[in-house]
A and B are shown apart, each in its own frame.
Chain A
Amino acid sequence: MSVNESGDFKLTRRAVLAAGGASAAVTVMPAEAEPVPAPKPATLPLSVTVNGKRRDLTLDTRTTLLDTLREHLGLTGTKKGCDHGQCGACTVIVNGTRINSCLSLAAQHHGDEVTTIEGLGTPDNLHPMQAAFIKHDGYQCGYCTPGQICSAVSVLREIKAGVPSHVQADITAAPTATNIEMRERMSGNICRCGAYSNIAEAMAEVAEARA
């Protein structure tokens, strides 16, 4: 601040900048003098059996099952589409049941058995559903395919186990693997390429072979 000849206080632009800088420095100082350590993210040891192999890991508690598979175990067959339960690309089979691995924490799966697309079959020894997807052109770009196949395998099991669906006329009766049943039960797997009808045909072939 400076005083001009008439005695008025007058702020110069320079003084304002200096004062602003000084006050900013004052408020920042304590933190600079004594830096507050960023809280260490919580971690957790856990073990999961993935495709028959036991894996022991120590992970940030925030790690989803999907990121565990892809980023920590290098199993990139399982895909991340939306990360919010809206597309099904991340579908894997846990203790025999399909789930969205993006909406599940690794910590929730301590002690569980996880099967991914890599565990269903191999290029030399395909799972029947994998072979049927190839035969019926059940994909175009292939991004949704691992989730579709894990889901498709589980859907046939769910029908066999008598899990009811929205399109069943009589929910007390045993469901059957009809086209409309498979379409309804596969609605949690979105395919941007629109391979739906071929996916249903691939499933029908596997269902018939099993019947």
Chain B
Amino acid sequence: MKSFTYERAKTPRDAAAAVARTPGAKFLAGGTNLLDLMKLEIETPTHLVDVQDLKLDRIEPTRDGGLRIGAFVTNTHLAADERVRRDYGVLTRAIVAGASGQLRNKATTAGNLLQRTRCPYFYDPNMPCNKRKPGSGCGAFGGFNRNHSVIGGSSLCICAFPSDMAVAMRVLDATVETVRADGSARSIPIADFHRLPGSQLPVGEFALEPGELIVAVTLPKPIGGRHFYQKVRDRSSYAFALVSVAAVIQRDGTGRVAFGGVAPKPWRVEAAEAALPQGAAAVTAAAFAGAAPRPDNAFKLPLATRALASVIAQAKAEAA
């Protein structure tokens, strides 16, 4: 690990200003992703601004009937919140399907949204990777790409975004609230928060400016319905998704659906949701139109259809 200096900021604005003015500085939340990458020298911050004292650890109701989740609320705290379990079950389900109990106790809301890809070439500094080293190429494109995207990638990068929580937030239409170094605030719809790699270097990843601090994620008022998070993985716990489905299905069979493990961002195509009453195949045909699977991960397309079919079947059984 490279040497760095450390500070605990006292206010969000101070934290943002400290990161903006110090070249190579980063925010530190739980540290479960950042420290992992620092040990491998994939991340080499010169200064860490710890956000634990910013009082961003509360979940509060909003005026329009939603919830405002502080950026430092832990994944466990969020999943266990009574209001979340009752009104936003897909979010609790997605969080408890990820990582381990120990990790969820430490991982935070903002850190989870900003976790980096688990692409093995990104993790190995001896391998080419445009995300880690722009211009070095993409090791995965012609290499081992079983865990990678089937849609939304480009020849520069085909990594999949690994978060489970973010897929649920996408289906709930969450908004990411930030503060910039000059103190100004910004609201970013979750749909725009994660960027596709695109055709230019450096590849796209997150919609944040240098020094921009996430202070909260807000959820709009509850939409009712039955909530599901179906995660398919190589072992039944403590593993990242091959494919996941976050869905909210109403009694009449209409609803919302987003997919994880299949794209560089939580994958939701609103127009495809209209096909929900026709069944899973109709939805995935529209949601994955133009998909470009690689030989190792073509299995994800039929798997996504089957995972959604099982969710729809459960919804029907529960409604009956």
Whether chains A and B associate is yes
| B-binding residues in A (CB < 8 A) | 39, 41-42, 44, 60-62, 64, 83-85, 88, 91, 97-100, 103-105, 107-108, 151, 154-155, 158, 161-166, 171-172, 184-189
**Interface check B266, CB cutoff 8 A:** no
**Interface check B313, CB cutoff 8 A:** no
| Max chain B C-beta neighbours (<10 A), residue from A97, A104, A164 | A164
| Max chain A C-beta neighbours (<10 A), residue from B5, B92, B101 | B101
Known: A85-B32, A105-B35, A164-B80. A42 touches B103 (CB 8 A): no
Q: Which residues of B contact A162 (CB under 8 A)?
A: 80
| Least CB distance, A116 to chain B, in whole angstroms | 14
Interface residues of B in 95-115 (CB under 8 A from A): 96-97, 99-103, 105-106
| Least CB distance, B83 to chain A, in whole angstroms | 11
Known: A108-B52, A162-B80, A185-B101. A103 touches B106 (CB 8 A): yes
Q: Which residues of B contact A97 (CB under 8 A)?
A: 76, 105
A103 touches B79 (CB 8 A): no
Known: A164-B80, A165-B96. A62 touches B102 (CB 8 A): no
| Least CB distance, A112 to chain B, in whole angstroms | 10
Question: Interface digits, B43-58 against A, CB 8 Å rule (1 contact, 0 not)?
Answer: 0000010101000000
A85 touches B36 (CB 8 A): yes
Q: Which residues of A contact B35 (CB under 8 A)?
A: 64, 103-105
Q: Which residues of A contact B262 (CB under 8 A)?
A: none
Q: Which of B4, B86, B100 is in CB contact (< 8 Å) with A88? A: B100
- In the A-B complex, the 7 residue pairs with the smallest Cβ-Cβ separation, listed nearest first, are A188-B100, A187-B237, A187-B238, A41-B3, A42-B5, A166-B96, A61-B6
Measured between alpha carbons, how far is A114 from B96 in the docked complex, in Å?
25
- Knowing that A97-B105, A172-B86, A184-B237 are A-B contacts, what are 19 other residue pairs whose CB atoms are under 8 Å apart, sorted by A's residue number? A42-B4, A44-B6, A61-B4, A61-B6, A84-B39, A85-B32, A85-B36, A85-B100, A100-B103, A100-B106, A103-B32, A105-B31, A151-B101, A158-B76, A164-B80, A164-B96, A171-B93, A187-B101, A187-B237
Interface residues of B in 61-102 (CB under 8 A from A): 76, 79-80, 85-86, 89, 92-93, 96-97, 99-102
B6 touches A105 (CB 8 A): yes
Identify the closest chain A residue to B79 (Cβ): A164
A42 touches B6 (CB 8 A): yes
Q: Which of B4, B36, B48, B96 is in CB contact (< 8 Å) with A84? A: B36
Known: A61-B5, A85-B32. A188 touches B96 (CB 8 A): no
Q: Which of B32, B100, B106 is in CB contact (< 8 Å) with A187? A: B100
Total A-B pairs in contact (CB under 8 Å)?
106
Measured between alpha carbons, how far is A191 from B311 in the docked complex, in Å?
33
Identify the closest chain B residue to A102 (Cβ): B35
**Interface check B1, CB cutoff 8 A:** yes
Q: Which residues of A contact B171 (CB under 8 A)?
A: none
A61 touches B105 (CB 8 A): no
Q: Which of A39, A41, A155 is in CB contact (< 8 Å) with B101? A: A155
Q: Which of B6, B89, B105 is in CB contact (< 8 Å) with A107? A: B6
Q: Which residues of A contact B30 (CB under 8 A)?
A: 103-104
**Interface check B150, CB cutoff 8 A:** no
Measured between alpha carbons, how far is A171 from B36 in the docked complex, in Å?
31
B238 touches A188 (CB 8 A): yes
A163 touches B79 (CB 8 A): yes
Known: A84-B36, A84-B39, A104-B31. A99 touches B106 (CB 8 A): yes
| Least CB distance, B141 to chain A, in whole angstroms | 26
Measured between alpha carbons, how far is A137 from B86 in the docked complex, in Å?
40
| Least CB distance, A189 to chain B, in whole angstroms | 8
A62 touches B106 (CB 8 A): no
Q: Which residues of A contact B1 (CB under 8 A)?
A: 62
Measured between alpha carbons, how far is A61 from B97 in the docked complex, in Å?
33
Measured between alpha carbons, how far is A187 from B85 in the docked complex, in Å?
22
Interface residues of B in 1-20 (CB under 8 A from A): 1, 3-6
Q: Which residues of A contact B79 (CB under 8 A)?
A: 163-164
Q: Which residues of B contact A154 (CB under 8 A)?
A: 101
Measured between alpha carbons, how far is A60 from B30 in the docked complex, in Å?
19
Q: Which of B36, B50, B102 is in CB contact (< 8 Å) with A188? A: B102
Q: Which of A44, A172, A186 is in CB contact (< 8 Å) with B85? A: A172
A103 touches B100 (CB 8 A): no
| Least CB distance, A47 to chain B, in whole angstroms | 14
| Least CB distance, B107 to chain A, in whole angstroms | 9
* Residue contacts A-B, CB under 8 angstroms, 10 given: A42-B6, A62-B4, A98-B105, A104-B106, A105-B48, A107-B50, A108-B31, A164-B85, A171-B89, A185-B101
A99 touches B96 (CB 8 A): no
